[in-house]
Amino acid sequence: MDEQAIYRELRSLGAATVYEAQGAKGAIDSGIKPIDKASRLVGPALTVDTRPADNLMLHYALLKARPGDVLVVDAKGFVEAGPWGDVLTAAAMKRGIAGLVIHGAVRDANAIESMGFPVFCRGLSIKGTGKVHPGKVNVPVCIGDVVIRPGDIIVGDRDGVVVVSADEVSTVLESARAREAKEEAFRLAIEQGASTAELLGLIPTLEALHLR
């Protein structure tokens, strides 16, 4: 199965299912969300470690990015600067970059949304940035209590963002499919009147707690 097919399927399964499927790990904290709630993003991470309020390294990262990459930028959580906007979005789309996850804020939200480029961030800010600070590209970064290494697979949607280790993608996909199938079976059983407590086998636990 080729990468693109895997990514398409992960995109369709969604972040919550992938998170559970890989053993409830790899979720970025709940403060990073897409500016367009319909956004769905999947691809390998090109990581960027930069200071807050400076975007030199973002311009540099665009020179290094390959089509399909997801830029994952550790801007240190600072939300009073918008180091990414519509011009960078245009340049990123031209290079075929899949989307942006930034531990910080962006500007030009409406333009970005209408261009259809998935951006996951902590906020929107019009405040400016310098273009002088050195930083690093393709080193492990740590955002929202999760490590993201270059090449890790990013899966994001309205619910949040999860990071999958590149060498676990096939296993995780299989497990996610199984989980999705199980949930689909649950939905059918629920439609026919089953309770979630029965489906999940929680009745013994409830009885042990004298909850009946």
Hey, which residues between 10 and 39 contact a copy of itself (CB under 8 A)? Answer: 14-16, 19-20, 24, 27, 29-30, 33, 37-38
Phi-psi region of 194 (alpha: psi -120 to 50; beta: other; left: phi over 0): beta
Q: How far apart are CA 172 and CA 154, in angstroms?
A: 13
Are the C-beta atoms of residues 133 and 103 closer than 8 Å to each other? no
Q: Which of residues 139-158 bind a copy of itself (CB under 8 A)?
A: 142-147, 157-158
Of residues 4 and 114, the one with the C-beta less far from a copy of itself: 114
Pairing of strands 41-49, 153-157: antiparallel
Residue 147's DSSP bridge partners are 142
Pairing of strands 99-102, 119-121: parallel
Among the listed residues 109, 153, 173, 176, the single contact to a copy of itself using CB under 8 A? 109
DSSP character for 95? T
CB of 171 vs a copy of itself, minimal distance in Å: 18
CB of 194 vs a copy of itself, minimal distance in Å: 8
Q: How far apart are CA 172 and CA 75, in angstroms?
A: 29
Contact mark string toward a copy of itself, 53..92, x via CB under 8 A: xx-x--xx-xx----------x-xxxxxxx--xxxx-xx-
Of residues 158 and 177, the one with the C-beta less far from a copy of itself: 158
- Backbone dihedral angles phi then psi of residue 205, each to the nearest 5 degrees: -60, -45
Of residues 9 and 149, the one with the C-beta less far from a copy of itself: 149
CB of 106 vs a copy of itself, minimal distance in Å: 9
Among the listed residues 67, 94, 167, 204, the single contact to a copy of itself using CB under 8 A? 94
